[in-house]
Amino acid sequence: MLHKADLRDVTFADLQALKDNQVPESHTLDFKRDFPAERDARASLAADVVAFANTRGGDLVLGADEQGGVIAQFVPVKLDDKDEALRSLQSALTDLIEPKIPGVQLVAVDVPDGGYIVIVRTPPSFQAPHRVRKSGIFYSRTSTGIDPMDITTLRSAFLRSETAIEKVRVFRSDRTANLRMLPLPAPLRPGAIGVLHVVPLASVLGSLNFDVHTLDSVARTLRPLLPVGGWGSRINLDGAMSVSSTSGEETFSYTQLFRNGAIESVMPIQNAVGALAWPDAVLQGVTADHHEALKSAHAKLGIDGPVFVMLSFVDIGGAPLEMGNTYAAVTMGGPAIVPNYHANLLLPELFVESFASSTAEIYHPLFDMVWNAAGRAARPSLK
């Protein structure tokens, strides 16, 4: 797979490096000479995309003539209307594959002497197994090509799709339940706490594993959510974190980078137990710069593709979200209060097909749900 988290950042120099270094085809990389224009050729390409989705994901490089599994020469693709050609191929893949594979990306990289090299990036899929609609065949990827899936690999793929979301939910549940028992430099502030998890699908499927030195190098430049005063990084058993503390007496906020590429960001939303809870403090931090910082962290780690985004609030049960004298509180007969039933409020997970190209707008519906839990239709407008 090409070592660029955002496919739009790939240049012809990156592709030339594949040829110069004789990088071979693999489980996650394949070279094709021709851009498919006819339906049969597109069905053949769909088989390759299906195989990637059913295994580890990967990149198809179109316009690269291979011999012996390495690029012998580039054969730039001639496209009269680049955007229309990519849209047409994307649409064809959607029609040819079932179920639909979320997160497939196509880009056309300019070649200095003219033409394009087209890259088709397919993420691993938690909805696997996928098949080519025309033939009905399920494919898997090997180091040398694709093979039809047998009963054993099909059973494994179905099991993986059933357990992917459950794994994400168990991870989030365990982390939030034990948040105050984590080995932090100082205890977390008492009161409600906001927790944001960004978990790449590749992490769930077990295809990512980073050493602590790599994670620490990223943590050193990854500010935690709305830090108070200074902040620094530290290595721990889970990986590495950036952390902000108040005079060493309490941990105010932190961002944890896990060895599998998952990220956890934590900050308080109450000044003290019983005080007004302000969930939008998390949204403010995410919108200001944290979302872009998280994207940058993934880019540095070479992580791309779909992610699960999960928002949780620990110890929020019984917390008021507004003062009793607001117009909404007076109209509704009292302030919005999260019921004690939701001691820890775990909002439904959000599946984002491409975190690298997402904006902070993806979080807004999640914050509306916090107010839904307190009996309001949406969070109040700040305008």
The SS3 assignment for 25 reads: coil
> Which residue bears the tokens 């739009």?
8
Nearest alpha carbon to residue 120 among 29, 194, 253: 29
Nearest alpha carbon to residue 247 among 235, 263, 259, 230: 230
> Which residue bears the tokens 């299906």?
50
Whole-model pTM over 0.85: no
d(CA 85, CA 80): 8
Instruction: Sort strands 250-258 and 239-246 into parallel, antiparallel or unpaired.
Output: antiparallel
The SS3 assignment for 239 reads: strand
Nearest alpha carbon to residue 231 among 217, 220, 218, 216: 220
Structural domains of the chain in order of their starting residue, each with its CATH number: 7-149 (3.30.950.30), 161-373 (no CATH)
Give Cα 297 to chain centroid, integer Å.
11
Which pLDDT score is estimated for 31?
A: 96
Q: Digits of tens for pLDDT over the chain (383 positions)?
A: 687 777 888 999 999 999 999 999 998 999 999 999 898 999 999 999 999 998 888 999 999 999 999 999 999 999 999 999 999 999 999 999 999 998 899 999 999 999 999 999 998 888 889 999 988 999 999 877 899 998 888 877 777 766 788 889 999 999 999 999 999 989 998 999 999 999 998 888 777 899 999 999 999 999 999 898 789 999 999 999 999 988 768 999 999 999 999 999 999 999 888 789 999 999 999 999 999 999 999 999 988 888 999 999 999 999 999 888 887 777 888 889 999 999 999 999 999 988 988 999 999 999 999 999 999 988 887 55
Asked if the peptide bond before residue 348 counts as cis, ω within 30 degrees of 0, the response is no
Structure tokens of 148?
Answer: 């039809």
Which pLDDT score is estimated for 382?
A: 58
Q: Are 157 and 52 in contact (CB under 8 A)?
A: no
Establish how many alpha carbons lie within 13 A of residue 68's alpha carbon, considering only the half-sphere containing its beta carbon: 5
